[in-house]
Amino acid sequence: MESLFISIEDWFRGILISGIMNNLAGTFDSVNYQVGQIATEVGKTPSAFSPAIFNMIKTLSENIIMPIAGIILTFIACYELIQLVISHNNLANFETWIFFKWIFKTFIAVLLISNTMNITMAVFDVTGNVVANAGGLIQESTDVDVYTYEEIQTVLNDSETGELFSIFLQSFIVQFIIYILSALIFVIVYARMIEIYLMVSLAPIPFATFGNKEQSMIGQNYLRSLFALGFQGFLIMVCVAIYAVLIHNVAVDTDIIGSLWGVMGYTILLAFTLFKTGSVAKSILHAH
- pLDDT per position as a tens digit, 123-134: 888 888 888 777
CA pair distance 142, 266, nearest whole angstrom: 13
Q: Which residue has the higher pLDDT, 221 or 214?
A: 221
Longest dimension (CA), the chain: 116
Query: Helix, strand or coil for residue 238?
Result: helix
User: What pLDDT sits at residue 228?
Assistant: 92
Q: State percent of the chain over pLDDT 90.
A: 5
Confidence at 148, pLDDT banded by 50, 70, 90:
low
Q: Which helix (H) or strand (E) holds 252?
A: none
Average pLDDT taken over every residue of the chain: 78
Q: Which residue has the higher pLDDT, 14 or 278?
A: 278
Q: Which amino acid is at 147?
A: Y
Question: Does the predicted TM-score (pTM) go above 0.85?
Answer: no
DSSP 212: S
Look at residue 146 and tell me whether its pLDDT is greater than 50: no
CA pair distance 78, 114, nearest whole angstrom: 19
Q: Is residue 79 part of a domain?
A: no
Residue 96 Cα distances to 75, 93, 117, 147, 230, angstroms: 22, 10, 35, 82, 43
User: What pLDDT sits at residue 38?
Assistant: 72
Q: Which residue has the higher pLDDT, 17 or 282?
A: 282
What range does the domain containing 259 cover? 2-64+117-284
What phi and psi values does residue 252 have, to the nearest 5 degrees?
A: -85, 0
Angle value at C-alpha 70, between 64 and 75, nearest 5 degrees: 135
The answer to whether 276 and 190 have CB atoms below 8 angstroms apart is no
Look at residue 10 and tell me whether its pLDDT is greater than 80: no
Q: State percent of the chain over pLDDT 70.
A: 76
Angle value at C-alpha 191, between 264 and 272, nearest 5 degrees: 25
Q: Which residue has the higher pLDDT, 279 or 189?
A: 279
Residue 162 CA neighbour count, 13 Å, CB half: 0
CA pair distance 134, 143, nearest whole angstrom: 20
Confidence at 93, pLDDT banded by 50, 70, 90:
low
Count of domains for the chain: 1
What is the average pLDDT across 14-30? 71
Q: Is residue 147 part of a domain?
A: yes
Look at residue 66 and tell me whether its pLDDT is greater than 80: yes
Q: Is residue 52 part of a domain?
A: yes
Q: Which residue has the higher pLDDT, 283 or 186?
A: 283
